[in-house]
């Protein structure tokens, strides 16, 4: 691949494709080497459009074509273009990239995988029935970060109300806690098949998807025999180091 042409002061042009069918790519700081035929494999895709004729891209200091997008999962995109092999990990993230690059065969096949099917048909419809689920995840993380000063762990109390009957005793349950009630994050109730354990798995998955290390355990109030015991409390523990 030829180096960028610097004949025009202050303007960096893209390297010409006519010199070699080999293409060097810089996708948000991730480097890849492939061929024009691979990038043009699916007409109508964004990659085929970009690399048809003179590329509609700028190049970096090393002459690689630069796409200003996270390239973490671009390797899976290239693998599909080369071999039609589907990824077995990070399926949802690769699907997002396939949609961005408009690679329709990859989008379709990913949407038929068990991972995507379960997420789209099962987990997300369940979570959509939980009041303020996404907001609660944000609150959990915000509280945990606020409590992380000079500490290895942050522990947040979660109150899970599975049914309307559980919700009816919410006040008494909260009053039984040996904790700051303003730091308790409450989920539910909901009308769907998934259990409390399923919800806790969802919370853990969605927090971990943002890069945090967490564990979930039941929480005991430990207020003595005169206090009624409630089994709706759980500890979500963040580990920072």
User: Is residue 129 a contact partner of residue 175, using CB atoms and an 8 Å limit?
Assistant: no
- Domain containing 68 equals 22-112
Residue 237, phi then psi, degrees to nearest 5: -105, 120
Is residue 15 one of the residues assigned to a domain?
Answer: no
Closest Cα to residue 240, out of 223, 222, 218, 215?
215
Q: Does position 10 have pLDDT exceeding 80, yes or no?
A: no
C-beta of residue 188 within 8 angstroms of C-beta of residue 202? no
In a domain, 160, yes or no: yes
What's the rounded Cα separation, in Å, for the pair 221 and 179?
9
Q: What pLDDT is stored for residue 55 in this prediction? A: 75
Of the pLDDT bands very low, low, confident and very high (cuts 50, 70, 90), residue 14 is very low
pTM, 2 dp:
0.71
As a whole number, mean pLDDT of residues 111-127 equals 93
143 and 69 housed in the same domain: no
Residue 102, beta-bridge partner list: none
What is the number of domains present in the chain?
2
The residue out of 80, 112, 144 marking a domain boundary is 112
Same domain, 77 and 152: no
pLDDT higher than threshold 50 for residue 236: yes
Question: Do 91 and 161 have their domain in common?
Answer: no
CA–CA gap between residue 94 and residue 106 (Å, rounded):
9
Q: What angle do CA 9, 10, 13 make, to 5 degrees?
A: 90
Which among 205, 152, 160 is positioned nearest to 185, based on CA atoms? 160
User: Within a domain: residue 120?
Assistant: no
């Amino acid at each position: 691949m030829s180096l960028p042409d610097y004949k025009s002061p202050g303007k960096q042009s893209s390297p010409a494709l006519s010199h070699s069918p080999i293409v060097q790519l810089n996708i948000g700081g991730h480097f890849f080497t492939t061929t024009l035929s691979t990038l043009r494999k699916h007409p109508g895709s964004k990659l085929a459009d970009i690399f048809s004729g003179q590329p509609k891209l700028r190049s970096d200091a090393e002459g690689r074509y630069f796409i200003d997008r996270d390239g973490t999962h671009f390797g899976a995109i290239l693998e599909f273009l080369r071999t039609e092999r589907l990824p077995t990990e990070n399926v949802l993230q690769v699907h997002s990239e396939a949609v961005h690059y408009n690679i329709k065969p990859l989008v379709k096949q990913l949407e038929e995988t068990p991972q995507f099917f379960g997420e789209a048909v099962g987990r997300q419809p369940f979570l959509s029935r939980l009041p303020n689920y996404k907001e609660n995840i944000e609150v959990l993380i915000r509280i945990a970060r606020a409590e992380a000063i000079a500490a290895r762990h942050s522990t947040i109390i979660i109150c899970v109300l599975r049914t309307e009957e559980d919700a009816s005793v919410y006040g008494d349950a909260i009053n039984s806690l040996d904790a700051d009630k303003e730091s308790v994050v409450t989920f539910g109730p909901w009308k769907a098949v998934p259990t409390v354990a399923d919800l806790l798995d969802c919370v853990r998955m969605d927090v971990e998807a943002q890069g945090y290390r967490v564990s979930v355990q039941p929480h005991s109030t430990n207020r003595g025999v005169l206090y009624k015991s409630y089994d709706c409390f759980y500890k979500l523990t963040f580990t920072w180091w």
